[in-house]
Structures are given as structure tokens and as C-alpha cells.
Structure 1
Amino acid sequence: MSSGAPRPTIGAVVLTMNDRPTEFPRAMDSLLAQEGVDLDVVVVGNGCEPAQVPDRVRAVALPENVGIPEGRNIGADNVKGDYVFFFDNDAVLPATDALARLAAELDRDTHLSYVQPRIADPDTGVTLRRWVPRLRAGDATRPGTVTVMAEGVVMVRRSAFELAGGWPGHFFLFHEGIDLAWRLWNHGHTGLYKPDILVHHPATNPARHERFYRLNARNRVWLARRNLPAPLIPFNLATWTLITLWRFRERTALRASLAGFREGLRTDPGTRSPMSWRTVARLTAAGRPPIF
């Protein structure tokens, strides 16, 4: 990017529940230290009045916890910028040019709608499999086109984000990144994984409790019902069921997963907008058929 080129405009969205008093200030310091971009930042308090908010940052307090995807939608509505950067409140940007480099990728390719950096634990350097947005996640340092995203740290082109309808707010938690990515691809866009741009994030696993398994299962069903052509829905759900039976041997996990599966079938998944068969072919060619 030449010195005379306009600086990319980025709206950054951070959610908080005031439960990370040590991590949150570090996250905000690293975000506000970014160079080479025009940055507009909002902190959304999900069911709280945000605390520890820096002077340069706006705050939005929500009276109740509306869930992560809807909180991010509200945040995106409250920032300006050609690109929107969604940033977990316990992550850290170790380099001050991270946002400028992500934006440069979007500047270079108008068909590109989102870019994800590599997320790694700051102490061990480990990148968890769920942070690598492809099926073959063994080598976290391999870049390339991707069809899903790790939604906690990702930059999205605003025009594409709005065209796709934003995050599925009613999901509350889990699989909203796949839903958004599929809809972006269905509008002719692509995604990119850039592992040479690094973000630090503690490598912790989400709590495994009944609500986790229930929401995980419910949203997998909603994801298929909202986005897939009708003939592919049973294949997708059958694949998910087999994987669940293989992964979760503990009775509580299976019971909660099956309850979530039934809930997903019986309840409204939100607006149905099935992807075209051309999109199915493009996703398959990119390495991830939408039955997985």
C-alpha cells in the first residue's frame, strides 16, 4: 500500500460481560495500538454496563445477554468502516500492523469477503483445531481459501456482511460462523486464511455442560435447515449424527445432544435461504462440501 493511499476504515466490535478484568484491558490496548488504519471501536456489554472501557472507545450496554452473534450484530451497527473486525475480549494482537495487513487482503480482492488470521496460544504457540477454518487442520500454518471461519477473530467486508444479513442472532452461541460464511459464499464471495498474521488467544476449551451440547446440536440442525438445498439436509444431519455418536460416549452429552437435535427440528430456524447448487459446487471445490 503506497504512502498516498487512503487508510482502510475499520469498525472493531468487542463484547464483554465484565468477567475478564485482566484480559480485557490487554485486548483493548493491543487493538488501540494498531497502526495504518482509521479505527472506530465499540464495546458491547452483553447484559451489563461495560467496565474498563478506554476513553477513545464507545460503549453500548444491553439490558440482557442476547448471545454472542446478536451482540456482534449490535456492535456492527454502532461502528463505522468499510471493514468490520470482530475481536474476542481475551485475545491480543501482538503486532501493530495486524489490522492493516488483514485490510490489505480485502483491498486486493473485491471477491474476498472475510479474512481470518491464525489464532495461537501465547504461551505454547498451539493453534486449536477449531481455530483452523478447514477440514484438514493438522497444519495450522498453511494459508489458503476457506469456506468457514473462527468467528471470534475475523475481519469482514461490511458490504458483504450486510448483504448476507449479518450473524444469525438467534443462534445465541455456536456455528454462527459457518452460517455467515455459507451465506457470504452464496453471494459469490470467498474467504481467506492468513496464518502469517498472528493473534494470541488462550487455548481453553468451552465448558462441556448440557447447555453446550444442546445448543451445539440445535444450531447444527438450524444451520442445515436455513442454508442447504432440501436434498442435502438429510445427508448433512446424518453425517452430524454419526460424528456425534462417535465423539460423545458419555450419556449426559448424548442425551443433551439428542434433545438439541429434536429442538432444531421442531423450532423455527430463522429465514430460510438455501444456497444455490453452484455454491455447493464452489464449496466442494474449495475443499469442504456442505454436508460436513
Structure 2
Amino acid sequence: MGVAVLTMGDRMPALRALLESVAKQDEPAAAVVVVGNGCALPDLPPGAVAVELSQNLGVSGGRNVAWHRLRELGGIDVLVDLDDDGLLTDADVIRTIADLYEAEDRLGIVSFRIADETGETQRRHIPRLRAKDPTRRGLVTTFLGGGHALSMRMLEQTGGWPDAFFFTHEETDLAWRALDAGWDVLYEPALVLQHPKTSPARHAVYYRMTARNRVWLAKRHLPAPLVPAYLAVWILLTVARTRSIPGLRSWLAGFAEGVRTSGGPRRPMRWSTVVRMTRLGRPPVI
């Protein structure tokens, strides 16, 4: 078990608390890698490996760096990604993840439950449609970036994170490739990452990159007949939901950017994967 944490250097007290919670696990991680995404790192706890990048490579690029570093260290079967402002409140997280992967050979991704200090889980942190119960366990079609575990074999087969995405929808891109390769994605609410309640729109690039990457996701992975359906659904949903006129303008500009540019090679999923996702409750048109 290896743990990876990205930081931009602006949450150092929270980062230290997270690393302390990792160190207190009753089954220790074999390696802990902290990536300074365009920033210098402070002194880390003994045993933690520091990787300082001269520029911010985004979530996707930074996580690929962490994955490659853990691969170089050797002996890692499962990678656990944790947000630098998260906290493991239970001491059995690493052991529980290890048991899950021991029990299921085709388990590719395990998604944590994200909960704030009061135990509440935001609707956007439940990786399924019609989600009223954040404690319902089961197979899903995407996962949460804040806290999750990844099979190293799955990463090798799928090629890791989509560097070009930088931020937003990188989890869905990886999940779709994993599903198409025959891996399972499990939402396990017993694994909890405590995380402050936030809005993704706090990031200045959120609207543009959300739209651009949504188009890239469809162009890269959906069978041709589903691409216009998927994008039409998300145009309608965004127009209906967005209350910020500047935000909507930024979203539309990002959508146009996604149409004009490429987010990587096109490898459409099999129709059998579309059927599988539909049976799991989320057909790839929404």
C-alpha cells in the first residue's frame, strides 16, 4: 500500500494533520509520497518521500508524478490518493483497503466517502444518480478525487491519469477506461475522508475546465452516436443550474475550446461497457 498526496503549499497545517493521521494507521503504508505541485515542501515526517515540481502540473499531472515515483520505489500494489486538506479519522483505513483488494482480483478503484466535520456528505460527493443515502455501498461508474485507492495493475493497463485535463473530470476519464478494461469501481462508504465543505467553483478555472474537459471526455471515450447526446444533456443541465452569468460565459468558452482542441487520442468504449454502465445506474449520457 502506497499513499500519495498533492499539495500547492497553501495548506501546510492541514497537510501535517493528514500525514499524522496516515502515520497513525494500525497497518502502516509501505510508502508515502508528497508532491509539491509547483511549490517547495517543508520538512516532512520521517519516511515520507518529497517530490518538488518546478511548475504546477494540475491534479492529473501531479498524480501521475506520484504514481511514477511509487512505481520506482517498488513493492506497491495499491495507491491511495488523499487530498492535502483531508483527514483520516479512523485508524483502519489502510488495512480495510488492503482487505478489499485481497478479496477481489478485478477491483480497480475504491472510492471513499467524503464527509465534513459534522459527518455530512455533500450531494456532489456521492458517485451515483438519484443518491439520497451516502452510506449505500456498491459498484459505480466514477469515483471521488479527494480520497480513493487505485490498483497499480489497473493504472499500468489504462495508462494512468489524463495529463491534459489538468483539473476536473480526470476521475471520470480514468474510471471509464478502467470499466472498459473490465475492472470494477467500488464506492465504499465505510472508508471516510474528513474534508471541509467546499464548492468546486472556488477555483478560478472551474467553469472553463469543467466544460472543456466534459467535451474532451465525450470525444475520447464515447461511441460516436452518444457524443452529441451526452453533450446536449450537459448543455441543458448547465444552463438550468448555473446562476452566475460570468460563470456561464466561461463555461461556454470552455465548451468551444473543447470542441476545437484535443484532450488526447480517441479510444471509444465498447458498447458492452455502455450496457454495463447503464446496468450500474448511470448510462454514459449523463
Q: Please indicate, yes or no, whether the TM-score normalized by the shorter chain is above 0.5.
A: yes
Residue identity opposite 1:223 in structure 2: L
Residue identity opposite 1:198 in structure 2: V
Contact 1:113 1:190 in 2 (8 A): yes
Contact 1:11 1:76 in 2 (8 A): no
Aligned match of 2:107: 112
Task: Give deviations 1:146-165, integer Å, cap 9, x for gaps.
Answer: 11001221001110112111
2-structure distance, mates of 1:207, 1:279: 31
Counterpart check, 1:39 vs 2:30: yes
Gaps of 5+ in 2: none
Cα deviation for residue 210 of structure 1 reads 5.4
Cα deviation for residue 69 of structure 1 reads 1.1
Aligned match of 1:86: 81
Counterpart check, 1:151 vs 2:145: yes
Gaps of 5+ in 1: 1-9
Counterpart check, 1:98 vs 2:100: no
Contact 1:145 1:191 in 2 (8 A): yes
Cα deviation for residue 190 of structure 1 reads 1.1
> In structure 1, which of residues 242, 248, 251 is the aligned counterpart of residue 242 of structure 2?
248
Map of 1:52-71 to 2, 5 A cutoff?
A: 52-71=43-62
2-structure distance, mates of 1:77, 1:91: 23
Task: Give deviations 1:92-127, integer Å, cap 9, x for gaps.
Answer: 1111111110221121111211111211102x2111
Identical-pair percentage: 45
Cα deviation for residue 137 of structure 1 reads 2.2
Counterpart check, 1:51 vs 2:46: no
> In structure 2, which of residues 225, 233, 242 is the aligned counterpart of residue 231 of structure 1?
225
Aligned match of 2:116: 121
Structure 1 runs (4+) greater than 3 angstroms displaced: 207-210
1-structure distance, mates of 2:211, 2:201: 15
Instruction: State the aligned residue count.
Output: 282
2-structure distance, mates of 1:265, 1:117: 33
1-structure distance, mates of 2:203, 2:87: 27
Aligned match of 2:154: 160
Contact 2:7 2:37 in 1 (8 A): yes
Map of 1:182-261 to 2, 5 A cutoff?
A: 182-208=176-202, 211-261=205-255
Task: Give deviations 1:10-31, integer Å, cap 9, x for gaps.
Answer: 1111011110121110000011
> In structure 2, which of residues 273, 282, 285 is the aligned counterpart of residue 288 of structure 1?
282
2-structure distance, mates of 1:33, 1:209: 32
2-structure distance, mates of 1:119, 1:126: 8
- Could you say what the CA RMSD is over the residues aligned between the two structures, in angstroms? 1.3
Contact 2:83 2:147 in 1 (8 A): yes
TM-score normalised by L of structure 1: 0.93
Change in 2 beyond 3 A, CA 1:51/1:34: same
Segment drifting more, 100-109 vs 218-227: 100-109
2-structure distance, mates of 1:85, 1:210: 27
